[in-house]
């Protein structure tokens, strides 16, 4: 069940009306449009009413989010009105609501950052999109947890309808991160962009990676994208019930080794490996002990890239790792990458990733849940029921 049907503190029509003008037209600080007067008789097109998951203050997502219903808004000449099909709940969505993410929308805001929708109607000047097309916001943008969104045509990227909607909805934040980190890893090691390096060279140059958080969507993509390049993977997961099943799942995706953190409580972790090269590159999305384990596997002069901090524990590095092992530490942030000139490549990369999904070469665990069960999905994403697949809301 959803928590509330209207914004309780501000339930007057006037508030809902003004909020809808902002939120249905995009709700990032940079993407807020000035609220404009809406005169139904003077406009050609108006979006249908929308339902959205809204937060008016930062705090725990299960406490501060609520369902709000908005009347339709004007679809201007360059606008596209999209009926959302589905959108995931990612850790960064939770962090934005909590107010701990460095870039957050202005409040009040609609949750969500990526998703997929079907074009419902287009403004009079839009020629590149038509009703029925499937689109994703690309680069991703705030406010995807709502049933209808009206935004400028430039926001939307038309995608292949042959890919299951839950994959299209989730293709940007996590799979693109996995792809970029692997490609950046090559740049990092060789100083040369991936596109300039023959695949054979990559395989010879850097033939194994180690990562923690291997059950995450990013982790699952790293395993498969690495495998497809001939790069072997050492994967670290949390201790849990049903660990054998999880290991089997990751091995079926192409993982070479999967260890729980407890299994790595040995003097020499590398003694557990058979015929796998020492990795030059490690990925860390957990921090704490799980990050220290990644460091232990790295070869002399290796690099650990931190891209998440799921355990909320800091990364601690032994002095010897710097002096004697000459390890390097780096970070990766997709949102920063998307703000650089390299971002022009992102739509092509997304199409490539969707192509891999289409060919059955990229898959990951998800649970599609109806919008009416949003609160349960949110509780699962918050970890209240232990380890759960990625929650994807179906509108």
Question: Which run of H or of E encompasses 160?
Answer: none
Task: Give whichever of 75 and 226 is closer to ligand NAP, judged by the CB atom.
Answer: 226
Task: Give whichever of 98 and 311 is closer to ligand NAP, judged by the CB atom.
Answer: 311
- Look up residue 334 and give its two tokens: 């997709």
From residue 198, alpha-carbon distances to 195, 202, 228, 229 in Å are 8, 7, 14, 11
- The least CB distance from residue 379 to ligand NAP, in Å, is 14
Short-list 222, 231, 274, CA closest to 250: 222
- Look up residue 292 and give its two tokens: 């220290």
Q: Are 118 and 133 in contact (CB under 8 A)?
A: yes
> What residues does 74 pair with on adjacent strands?
46
SS3 214: coil
- The least CB distance from residue 26 to ligand NAP, in Å, is 21
- The least CB distance from residue 171 to ligand NAP, in Å, is 12
> Any catalytic annotation for residue 148?
no
108 preceded by a cis bond (ω within 30 of 0): yes
Task: Give whichever of 80 and 210 is closer to ligand NAP, judged by the CB atom.
Answer: 210
Task: Give whichever of 45 and 115 is closer to ligand NAP, judged by the CB atom.
Answer: 115
- Tell me which residue has tokens 């799980």: 290
- The least CB distance from residue 295 to ligand NAP, in Å, is 16
Q: Report the interface residues with ligand NAP, using CB under 6 A.
A: 90-92, 173-174, 177, 213, 215-219, 237-238, 240, 285-286, 307-308, 310-311, 332-334, 383, 387, 390
From residue 214, alpha-carbon distances to 171, 243, 253 in Å are 17, 13, 11
Q: Which member of 55, 101, 120, 148 is catalytic?
A: 101
CB closest to ligand NAP, residue no: 308
Catalytic residue positions, numbered: 101
């Amino acid at each position: 069940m959803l928590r509330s049907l209207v914004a309780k503190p501000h339930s007057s029509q006037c508030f809902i009306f003004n909020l809808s003008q902002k939120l249905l037209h995009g709700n990032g600080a940079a993407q807020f449009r000035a609220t404009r007067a809406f005169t139904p008789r003077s406009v050609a097109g108006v979006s249908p009413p929308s339902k959205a998951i809204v937060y008016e203050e930062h705090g725990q997502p299960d406490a501060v989010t609520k369902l709000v219903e908005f009347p339709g808004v004007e679809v201007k000449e360059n606008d596209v009105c999209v009926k959302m099909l589905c959108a995931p709940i990612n850790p960064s969505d939770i962090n934005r609501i909590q107010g701990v993410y460095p870039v957050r929308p202005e409040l009040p805001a609609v949750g969500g950052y990526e998703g997929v929708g079907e074009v419902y109607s287009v403004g009079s000047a839009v020629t590149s999109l038509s009703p029925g097309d499937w689109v994703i916001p690309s680069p991703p943008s705030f406010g995807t947890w709502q049933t209808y969104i009206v935004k400028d045509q430039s926001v939307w990227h038309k995608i292949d309808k042959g890919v299951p909607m839950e994959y299209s909805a989730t293709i940007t934040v996590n799979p693109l991160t996995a792809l970029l980190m692997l490609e950046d890893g090559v740049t990092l090691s060789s100083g040369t962009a991936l596109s300039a390096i023959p695949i054979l060279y990559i395989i010879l140059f850097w033939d194994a990676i180690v990562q923690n958080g291997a059950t995450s969507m990013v982790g699952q993509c790293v395993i498969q994208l690495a495998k497809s390049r001939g790069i072997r993977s050492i994967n670290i997961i949390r201790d849990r019930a049903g660990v054998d099943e999880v290991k089997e799942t990751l091995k079926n995706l192409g993982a070479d080794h999967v260890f729980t953190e407890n299994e790595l409580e040995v003097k020499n972790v590398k003694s557990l490996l058979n015929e796998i090269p020492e990795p030059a590159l490690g990925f860390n999305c957990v921090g704490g002990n799980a990050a220290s384990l990644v460091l232990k596997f790295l070869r002399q002069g290796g690099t650990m890239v931190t891209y998440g901090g799921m355990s909320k524990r800091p990364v601690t590095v032994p002095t010897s790792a710097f002096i004697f092992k000459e390890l390097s530490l780096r970070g990766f942030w997709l949102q920063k990458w998307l703000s650089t000139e390299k971002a022009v490549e992102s739509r092509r990369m997304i199409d490539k990733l969707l192509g891999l999904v289409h060919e059955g070469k990229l898959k990951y665990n998800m649970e599609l849940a109806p919008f009416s069960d949003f609160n349960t999905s949110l509780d699962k994403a918050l970890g209240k029921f232990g380890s759960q697949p990625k929650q994807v809301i179906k509108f």
